[in-house]
Amino acid sequence: MTFDHARAIADAILYEGYVLYPYRASSKKNQWRWQFGLLAPRDWSEAGGCESWAIQTECLLEAHFASNDPIVIRGSVRALRVQRRKDTTVDQGVTTWDEGVEVEIPFRHVVTAGWTQVLDIELPGDRSIAPDCVRDLEPLSVRVSISTEEVIVEHGIVRLRLRIENHTRFPDVSASRDDVLPAALAGVHTLLAADGASFISSVDPPEFVAARSRECVNKGAFPVLAGARGGNDVMLASPIILYDHPAIAPESPGDLCDATEIDEILTLRTQTLTDDEKREARRTDARAAAIVDRVDAMPSHTLQKLHGGRRDNGKGRISPGARVRLRPRRRADAQDMFLIGRLATVEQVKEDVDGNAHVAVTVDDDPATELHRWYGRFLYFAPDEVELLEGNSEQKQ
| Per-residue pLDDT at 208 exceeds 70 | yes
Altogether, the residues listed in the chain come to a count of 397
Say yes or no to pLDDT of 397 above 50. no
Is 91 a residue whose pLDDT tops 70?
Answer: no
Helix (H, G, I), strand (E, B) or coil at 42: helix
- The confidence band for 40, taking pLDDT boundaries of 50, 70 and 90, is very high
State pLDDT tens for residues 181-200: 999 999 999 999 999 999 99
Judged by average pLDDT, the poorest of 254-263, 271-280, 326-335 is 326-335
Task: Fill in the DSSP letter of residue 279.
Answer: H
CA distances from 304 to 35, 251, 264, 384 (A): 31, 10, 8, 20
Query: Is the Cβ–Cβ distance between 253 and 263 less than 8 Å?
Result: yes
The pLDDT, as a whole number, for residue 394 is 42
Confidence check: pLDDT of 308 > 70:
no
- For residues 138 and 182, the answer to whether their CB atoms sit within 8 Å is yes
Confidence at residue 5, expressed as pLDDT on a 0 to 100 scale:
84
Q: What pLDDT, on a 0 to 100 scale, did the predictor assign at position 335?
A: 78
- Does residue 256 surpass a pLDDT of 50? yes
370 SS3 class:
helix
pLDDT at position 331 is 56
Q: Give tens-digit pLDDT for 101-153.
A: 999 999 999 988 778 999 999 999 999 999 889 999 999 999 999 999 888 88
Q: Is 65 exposed, middle or buried (0-12, 13-18, 19+ CB in 10 A)?
A: exposed
Q: What are 229-238's pLDDT values in tens digits? A: 678 999 999 9
Contact at 8 Å (CB) between 103 and 76?
A: no
- Flag whether pLDDT at 393 surpasses 60: no
Q: Which of 20-24, 63-67, 289-293 has the lowest mean pLDDT?
A: 63-67
pLDDT band of 55, cuts 50, 70, 90:
very high
What confidence tens digit (pLDDT) does each residue in 134-143 have? Answer: 999 999 999 9
Mean confidence (pLDDT) of the chain: 88
More confident call, 309 vs 213: 213
Calpha distance 371→367 (Å, rounded): 9
pLDDT recorded at residue 166: 98
Residue 276 pLDDT level (bands cut at 50, 70, 90)? very high
**Of 203, 193, 263, 253, whose CA–CA distance to 228 is shortest?**
193
- Taking 70 as the threshold, does the pLDDT of residue 325 lie above it? yes
Query: How far apart are alpha carbons 356 and 310 in whole angstroms?
Result: 7
Looking at beta carbons, which pairs linking 151-154 to residues 24 or more positions away fall under 8 Å?
Answer: 151/60, 151/212, 152/208, 152/209, 152/212
292-321 mean pLDDT:
77
Mean pLDDT of 214-242: 91
| pLDDT at residue number 395 | 42
Percent of the chain with pLDDT over 90: 59
pTM of the complete model: 0.77
